[in-house]
Amino acid sequence: MSHITLIRHGQANSHAQTEDDYDRLSPLGQQQAAWLGTYLRDTHSHHTRLYSGTLRRHQQTAAAMDMGMDCHEDPRLNEIEYFTMSQALEAEHGISAPREPADFVHHFPKVLGAWQDGIIEGAPETFSDFETRIRDVMAEIGSGDGPALVVTSGAVIAMSMRLHLGLDIPAMCNVSLSIMNASMHRLHPIGGMWSPVMFNAVPHLEHPERHHAQTHV
């Protein structure tokens, strides 16, 4: 087993209302990813493998990091379709989708709770299927040779923490909402089991001149 460092993509289009419109890095998101890559190179961080989801914001983040290795893309590392499920929840149950980024904090737990309960008929996958694909891809990456960098999204990272810490939906939502753009989260094999040893680390954004870049949305 080799340790896995999960990386959330850089800031995307936070004012989007659709999956496609959200799926692109903002100029700040590009910079966050570039700073992260520079930090990893300057500190001689040892990673022999690089993975990402197939979403555009994942690809753009991996490219901006410029780690000098091929990126293996895997759709199992893709984010949940929050906007699709949000719109379905509104159409099917009258729960209004958020109109402003600040409303997302209160709406996201409602979506995940309804999704887990199986009452969103328009969901593109079941909650169980999402859980299974994250478990499977993490096990597959973890069984490979050498430490791995994995560029993905917030809910994927939160699900990874749920699987290894036994989090319920409210706790998983709290974890997901706290995850910063271009942050690092590490799973390390201890006693044959995966243990979270790093969460929400942004050393590349700790300089006072970069505090503005510590974003969540």
HSE-CB of 207 using CA atoms within 13 angstroms? 7
Domain for residue 152, yes or no?
yes
Percent of the chain beyond pLDDT 70? 100
Q: Give the CA dihedral 178, 179, 184, 189, nearest 10 degrees.
A: 70
Average pLDDT over the chain reads 95
Residue 193: inside a domain = no
User: Does the structure show a pLDDT above 80 at 34?
Assistant: yes
pLDDT of residue 103: 82
| 196 domain-assigned | no
CB 214 within 8 A of CB 205: yes
| pLDDT at residue 15, as a whole number | 78
Give me the pLDDT at residue 79, please: 97
**Which range, of 18-22, 89-93, 153-157, averages the lowest pLDDT?**
18-22
Give the model's pLDDT for residue 14: 77
At 213 the pLDDT is: 98
Q: Is residue 139 part of a domain?
A: yes
User: Tell me, what CATH number does 88's domain have?
Assistant: 3.40.50.1240
The whole-number pLDDT of residue 8 equals: 98
In a domain, residue 28? The reply is yes
Domain for residue 135, yes or no?
yes
Q: Does residue 191 fall inside a structural domain?
A: no
Averaged pLDDT for residues 108-132:
97
| Burial class of residue 56, CB neighbours in 10 A (0-12, 13-18, 19+) | middle
Average pLDDT over residues 23-51: 97
Q: Give yes or no for a contact between 182 and 165, defined as CB atoms under 8 angstroms apart.
A: no
Query: What is the structure's pLDDT at 148?
Result: 97
Domain that holds residue 148: 4-185
| Residue 133 in this model has a pLDDT that exceeds 90 | yes
Residue 152's pLDDT is 98
Q: How would residue 101 be classed by pLDDT, with cut points 50, 70 and 90?
A: confident
In the predicted model, is pLDDT for residue 17 greater than 80?
Answer: no
pLDDT category of residue 102 using cuts at 50, 70 and 90: confident
Please check the confidence at residue 1 and state whether its pLDDT lies above 70: no
By C-alpha distance, which of 102, 54, 109, 53 is closest to 86? 109
Total structural domains within the chain: 1
